[in-house]
Each structure stands twice: as structure tokens, then as C-alpha cells.
DNA sequence: CTGAAAGCGCTTACAG
DNA sequence: CTGAAAGCGCTTACAG
């Protein structure tokens, strides 16, 4: 790796001249055409690559953005958001650095189990939420932030969920370095967020299911805004959406399976399930197949997210798509604006309905009748 | 952010003393206990965090590893490998930086389509392989490498597929900076690789299917080592595995669907399909359900990878698991060894069979009989 | 036991 | 038009 010093020596000029020629646009010359040409040629010959370390140290910045979060739980959704962010950042000359916030024995165990053992499925929401309850959580989070600061990152993209355990830490961090919360509302003043409009999700789902003719709908997973929106929408048409039609929890694959069994037992008049996401929708579909319920003839199933899996299930899942790389890209844009010193507001993205095969017109039949078992 | 200079001023000592106290272990004192204590207290009070930029510049290293590859195609498999690598690197004091090698209009279009449009499924293998044929590919790859060098990375984890287009570029890069190839054999001298033993994959699959009683097996996707192993295994028991039982291509979800239709038309005596991966196995399952073929009663389906999806399909997919985070972790270990100047050999990891529900004993029946359509 | 100095690669005023 | 100097934060010989 050649440095400007060596180029300067070879060209018989001062390093400041080399720096000028290499950085200023051609018209702001500051050097004779001959010198300029000579320097550029030497630089090309040696394949000169400027060092960001030197540049960054001098300029008091690192051209690096840190992504802070539970990277261990990466799924394709997070990965795609990451990609969206990294593309926007790259165009602005920044690179993206991964800073896993959690790397406890618990998580390592989880990873090992999934990686090497006869692994079970996705990490359940239950264990996910456990993470911030762990005794090691806060020290490890602080350590991650330490690493972030060591690196002198110019900004932070926060993917970690904010809760009562860590709120203060993130609030303090956001006072120290420009930061943007990804995937949900931060709830911290001065910490802007990028997320998908939950009211719009509720409306898209409510409208689809109502239009198809569904009146007895079950909502999986508690998401207050979605619930309220669904209830308000149905109320407009004189349909009562009772609180016991909401099965809070049941957010992961096994939750979806359990939810369907529970529906069969306690609310067999149900004609449609509005799922928490595609993963628990997959669980509903799995269990339906297992016990011989036909989708959508016997029961309509609506997912949220549009994960890759939603197209690979039978039947293909009707779902409410959420921007993946778009969410990451928006967060990166917001962060760049913050770094530039602008005041920025939350960026709320729109979801979109993707109609596939798992939602249909309900049959006249009074109750769900499994064919097997 | 306080610096050692400011601490030195406050403690009334030279910055070198501060540096020594902060870096050397307590026993290698180089300062009086009193001075030591004073300095440490001041550092704690101001929450001193050493700057890697200064340290790195001085030491001629960046404590950063770059991951070079087509990050845009991230799936949970890649994401988990990334996680494994980042954990190992973190423990060694390194951070991991993402360096997407491809960010063309083509890819952006692909991403946009998946992110915002009524997206279709996973990127097909076909379009994946197109990438390196694109005119923009080489310039963009060079640009990515440029960014890597700018950052002064201490090592590179290569996830990009190596082919005739880019081989020379990667060979040159690996002469410049310690590098390890992830997911497959590099084919470049001095560039060590981490991958999963294809012969073992072939043997696990062959043994399972043979033991269950399958004699007429179709192999999806061309993977020479797996094919040879399967053939050799069956030959030992006097079973001929004809070359036309290999359906090269058919690697993605739609490929799996197409393969099943083709099998039905041209090889309806087939009792088991050994898939290229879980994604095309999902395609086989989908099509089987669609046309009313029962799995595994009518046809056994064996996947490879143990993706999250393989547990969320009905029936749950029997598959050959491949280490995910383990592969990334192994690559990181190899890379650290290389950085330390050691000569390292390829690391070949073992797969493992995960028996679930999609493989069973073949029925006596002579040919596949769909129930629908 | 402690400090002054050099230098990593770079840029930015400033002097000639 | 060109160069000498200072300095970003740090560490490492080396001198006292």
C-alpha cells in the first residue's frame, strides 16, 4: 500500500500538493497541469488507495455507521433491511459495521443448537423477549456500545427492541451520536424512527377480510394499533369485534399451531385468522394441513411481512407486505440527514396487500370441521 | 469523547504515562501505584474510550475484517454464517464490516421488486449466476475491493462465488491481504476455504434413502461429488444409478416444482427425490400438494441445509443439516490464524442427517398417481 | 518511575 | 503555483 508521502517523494513535490491534486476537482487546480498529471500517473501506477484511517483521524470522523442489535437472530427480513441500509450508506461513502448487542452464553447456546444440533425452528418470541431480562444483558449491551464508540462511528442504526431495561442506555447513546431506530417507534425524544404504519396494516387486513365476507375473525398476537383499527373498521359495518377474538401471544410458528387448536376448541365459528406475521401464519397453515382443514375453503389465513416463506407454502400465503430493504434504506437516509445536522421526523412506510391463495370467501358452514384425527 | 491527552493534562503526567497505565497489565507497572490510581480514576470519571482510529493508524492495522460478497442476496443461511463469524471476530477484538460486491442497477431493481412490489419469491439461481456475466460486474467488484483496501481491513472473508470472470481478481487480492473463502472450495492456491463435505452429504443421503428401501432415486441439481458418492454407494448394493436420474439445474423453488412435474412425466417409477437444497425441496413439496401426491407415502423428499423453512413446511422436511453459524465461525478462526501468520489448511465441516417427516418407506405401487387435476 | 519525541496517513490553513 | 508545519489519537522506543 503506497502512501501520499511516497508519491510525493517520487514526484518531487510536497505531500500537501499530492493531497490537493488527489482530492480537489480538476478545475480548482492548485497545481500546474504538469505536476497534476505527473502525480496522478504515479498514483495510478502504484494503485494508490487513500487510507480512511488517516483521513478519518484527521477529520475527526470514521465514515463508518454501526448497526446495533441482536444480530444473532438475523432472519432474511433483517438481512434485507441491512442490505438496503448498506447500499444507501455506501453511496454516501460510509461503510456499515455489525455490532451484535447480545452474545451471552444463552445466545451462543441457542446458536449452537440451531447450527449443529438437530435444530428446532425459529427462535420463539418468548425466548427473544427473555434476552433483555437476562442478567448478562445490560453489561453486554454496554460492551457493545463501548465497541461502537471505540470505532468512532459517525452514526448508529438501532435494530434492538427498546424496553424499560435498556431505554435509558439508548437515550444516553442517542445524545452522544446520531442515531435512528429501525422497525418500530423509539419512544425516546430526539431519536427518530423508521417503521411501517400499523394502522394501514390493520386497514388493509380489515378491508380484505370484510370484503371477502368474513365476520368472525381472530387476531393473533397483540398489536394494539392493528387491533383498534380492525375493530373500528368492522364497527363501521355494524360488526362487533370482541376482545376475546384477540389471541395475544401466539407469535411464532408453534404459536400459530397452538392458536389454531385453540380456535377449534373455543371459537369454531371463526372464518378467518389475521396473523401476527408470516411465521405464525405458517404455523396455522401447518396445523390446518395436519388436521385436515382446507385453506382457504374452511378457513382464511392472512399473514404480515411477505417473507420468502410466504411464497413457498401450500397454499401460497396471502399477506401484507412490509418494505424490507426499503426500511433499511429509509433509516440510512434519515441517519445521514441527522449526521448532516438536520432535524428529522419519523419516517412511516406504507404496507401493501399481496393477494395469493390463503384467503377466500367463507363457506356458509357453521363451524370448522377437521377431516383427520 | 475524552482523549489520553486530556487525561494526561488533568493528571499532570505525560500522555505516554497515561497510555502505559491504560494498556499494560497492572503488574508491568511502569508507573507508581498512586499515579496509576489517579489516571484510572480520571479515565473512569470521563468514561474514556480509546480510539481505534488512533491506535490502528499507529499500529498499522484496523482491527476490522471485511466480508466481501453479494450481500444483496442475503438469506438466513448467510446471515447466520455472518453471525458466527462476527462472534469469533469480536472475541478477538475485531469488528466485521459489510462490503457488498454487487450493487448494480440490476440488483437494485431486484431488491426494489422484492421490497416494494408484489414481490415474487427467492432470487432464482439462474439470475444469481447471471450477476457475474453482467457488464457492470467487474468494475463494481473492483470498486468494492477498493473500499476494502481504503478501510485497511486486516483480513477478508469471501462469500462471493469464484468463477472464471473474477478468479484473477480474487487471487490478486488474496496476495495482498489475508483471506478465507466461505461456503465452497476456492480453487485458488494459498486461499484456504471453509465448506461442508459434499461426499458426506452424498453418503448421508444415499444411506438414508437406501435403508428405507428406495432404489429409484432422482437427484436434483448437479453437484458432482454428491452424485458420484450416491452412485458409488448404490453400486455397492448392486443398484444402478443412471445418469438420466440426475436433473441438473432445478435448483430453486420453481425448479423444484418443475422437477416434480418432469419426474411424473418421464420417470413416474421414482420413489424418492434427493433435492439440491431445502428451497427446491419446498418446491417439490408445494407441487406435490397441489397435484395431490402424498409425502412421504407416495414420494420421499430429502432436502439439504436445514433452513428455517424446513421445519415450517407440511410435512416437515427431512434434510441434511449444514452448519450455519458454525461455518462462519470456522472461517473467522481460519482467518485469524492467517493474520497471525500461520499456514492454514482448508476446513471441511461435517453435515448431519435430520430425520423429520418427508422421507419414508416406499410403497409397493409401481408409479406415482396424483389425486387432483 | 516519568516524560519528550517521533511517527502512523492524512488534510488544512498559511507562508512564500 | 508549491511547500513547511501543525495536528487528529495513539504507541513505542528511548532518554532522564
Residues B207-235 as b or e (16 or more Cβ within 10 Å = b)? ebbbebebbebbbbbebeebbebbbebbe
CA A52 to chain centre: 29
Q: Tell me the three cell numbers of residue A166.
A: 435498556
Give me Rg for the CA atoms of chain A: 26
Q: Which residue is nearest to nucleotide C3 (CA to C1')?
A: B14
A125 vs A294, more confident: A294
pLDDT band, residue A103 (cuts 50/70/90): low
Which residues of A in 96-135 have their CB below 7 Å from strand C's atoms?
A: none
pLDDT at B29: 64
Please tell me which residue, B231 or A127, carries the higher pLDDT value: B231
Strand D surroundings (CB within 7 A): A 12-17, 20, 29-32, 34-36, 54, 57-58, 60; B 1, 3-5, 15-16, 19-20, 22-23, 50-51, 53-55, 57-59
R_g over Cα of chain B? 26
* Contact between chains at B87 and A78 (C-beta distance less than 8 A): no
Q: Which cell is B115 given?
A: 421490497
The model's pLDDT over A32-60, given as tens digits with 9 standing for 90+, comes to 888 888 999 999 999 999 999 999 999 99
3-state SS of A71-111? Answer: HHHCCHHHHHHHHHHHHHHHHCCCEEEEEECCCCHHHHHHH
First to last CA, chain A: 70
Is there contact between A24 and strand C, defined as CB under 7 Å from any strand atom?
A: no
Rounded, the Å distance between the CA of B348 and C1' of C8 is 39
Cis peptide bond N-terminal to A319, omega within 30? no
Among the listed ranges A153-157, A183-187, B367-371, which one has the minimum average pLDDT value?
B367-371
What pLDDT score was predicted for residue A80? 86
Rounded to 10 degrees, the C-alpha dihedral B308/B312/B316/B320 comes to -10
Q: Closest partner residue to A354 among B118, B151, B325, by Cβ?
A: B118
Mind telling me how many Å the CA of B140 is from chain A's nearest CA? 12
- Chain mean position to CA A103: 19
Q: Does the distance separating the beta carbons of B114 and A324 come in below 8 Å?
A: yes
**What span, in angstroms and rounded, lies between the C-alpha atoms of B147 and B103?**
13
Residue length, chain B? 373
Q: Is A116 within 8 Å of B352 when comparing Cβ atoms?
A: yes
Cβ–Cβ below 8 Å for B95 and A151 = yes
What does the mean pLDDT of chain B come to? 89
Cα-Cα-Cα-Cα torsion A136, A140, A141, A143, nearest 10 degrees, comes to 150
C-alpha B281/C-alpha B297 separation (Å) is: 16
Residue B304 phi, psi dihedral angles, 5° rounding = -140, 130
The model's pLDDT over B336-365, given as tens digits with 9 standing for 90+, comes to: 999 999 999 999 999 999 999 999 999 877
How many CA atoms within 13 Å lie on the side-chain side of A363? 12
Alpha carbons B95 and B97: distance in angstroms, whole number: 7
CA distance B170 to chain A (A): 16
Per the CB < 8 Å rule, is A121 touching B78? no
Mean pLDDT of chain A: 89
Asked whether the predicted pLDDT for residue B122 surpasses 60, the reply is: no
Q: What is chain A's length?
A: 373
Which nucleotide's C1' is closest to A1 (Cα)?
Answer: C9
- pLDDT tens for each residue of B77-104: 888 898 889 999 999 999 999 998 876 4
**Model confidence at B293: pLDDT above 90:** yes
Question: Which of the nucleotides lies closest to A14 (Cα–C1')?
Answer: D3
What's the rounded mean pLDDT across residues A74-84? 83
Range with lowest mean pLDDT among A115-119, A286-290, B21-25: A115-119
The side-by-side arrangement of strands in the sheet containing A217-220 is A246-247, A217-220, A272-274, A300-305, A318-321, A352-354
The closest CB to that of A96, out of B98, B323, B325, belongs to B98
pLDDT tens by residue, B311-329: 999 999 999 999 998 999 9
Amino acid at each position: 500500500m503506497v502512501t501520499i508521502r511516497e508519491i510525493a517523494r517520487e514526484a518531487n513535490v510536497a505531500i500537501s500538493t499530492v493531497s490537493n491534486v488527489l482530492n480537489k476537482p480538476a478545475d480548482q487546480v492548485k497545481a500546474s497541469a504538469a505536476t497534476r498529471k505527473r502525480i496522478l500517473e504515479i498514483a495510478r501506477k502504484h494503485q494508490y488507495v487513500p487510507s480512511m484511517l488517516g483521513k478519518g483521524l484527521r477529520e475527526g470522523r470514521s465514515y463508518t455507521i454501526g448497526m446495533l442489535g441482536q444480530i444473532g437472530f438475523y432472519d432474511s427480513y433483517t438481512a434485507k433491511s441491512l442490505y438496503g441500509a448498506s447500499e444507501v450508506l455506501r453511496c454516501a461513502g460510509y461503510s456499515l459495521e455489525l455490532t451484535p448487542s447480545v452474545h451471552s452464553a444463552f445466545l451462543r447456546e441457542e446458536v449452537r443448537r440451531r447450527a449443529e444440533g438437530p435444530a428446532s425452528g425459529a427462535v420463539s418470541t418468548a425466548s427473544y423477549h427473555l434476552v433483555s431480562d437476562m442478567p448478562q444483558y445490560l453489561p453486554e449491551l454496554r460492551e457493545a456500545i463501548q465497541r461502537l464508540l471505540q470505532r468512532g462511528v459517525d452514526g448508529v442504526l438501532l435494530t434492538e427492541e427498546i424496553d424499560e431495561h435498556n431505554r435509558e442506555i439508548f437515550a444516553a447513546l442517542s445524545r452522544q451520536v446520531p442515531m435512528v431506530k429501525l422497525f418500530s417507534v423509539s419512544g425516546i425524544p430526539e431519536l427518530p424512527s423508521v417503521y411501517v404504519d400499523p394502522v394501514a396494516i390493520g386497514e388493509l387486513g380489515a378491508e380484505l377480510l370484510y370484503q371477502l365476507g368474513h365476520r368472525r375473525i381472530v387476531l393473533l398476537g397483540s398489536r394494539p394499533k392493528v387491533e383498534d383499527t380492525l375493530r373500528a373498521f368492522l364497527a363501521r359495518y355494524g360488526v362487533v369485534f370482541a376482545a376475546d377474538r384477540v389471541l395475544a401471544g401466539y407469535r411464532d410458528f408453534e404459536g400459530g399451531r397452538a392458536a389454531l387448536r385453540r380456535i377449534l376448541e373455543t371459537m369454531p365459528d371463526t372464518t378467518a385468522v389475521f396473523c401476527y406475521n408470516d411465521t405464525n401464519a405458517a404455523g396455522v397453515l401447518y396445523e390446518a394441513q395436519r388436521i385436515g382443514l382446507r385453506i382457504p375453503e374452511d378457513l382464511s389465513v392472512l399473514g404480515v411481512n411477505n417473507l420468502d416463506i410466504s411464497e413457498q407454502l401450500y397454499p401460497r400465503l396471502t399477506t401484507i407486505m412490509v418494505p424490507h430493504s426499503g426500511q433499511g434504506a429509509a433509516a440510512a437516509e434519515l441517519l445521514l440527514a441527522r449526521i448532516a445536522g438536520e432535524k428529522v421526523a419519523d419516517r412511516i412506510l406504507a404496507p401493501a396487500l399481496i393477494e395469493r391463495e390463503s384467503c377466500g370467501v367463507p363457506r356458509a358452514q357453521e363451524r370448522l370441521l377437521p377431516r383427520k384425527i
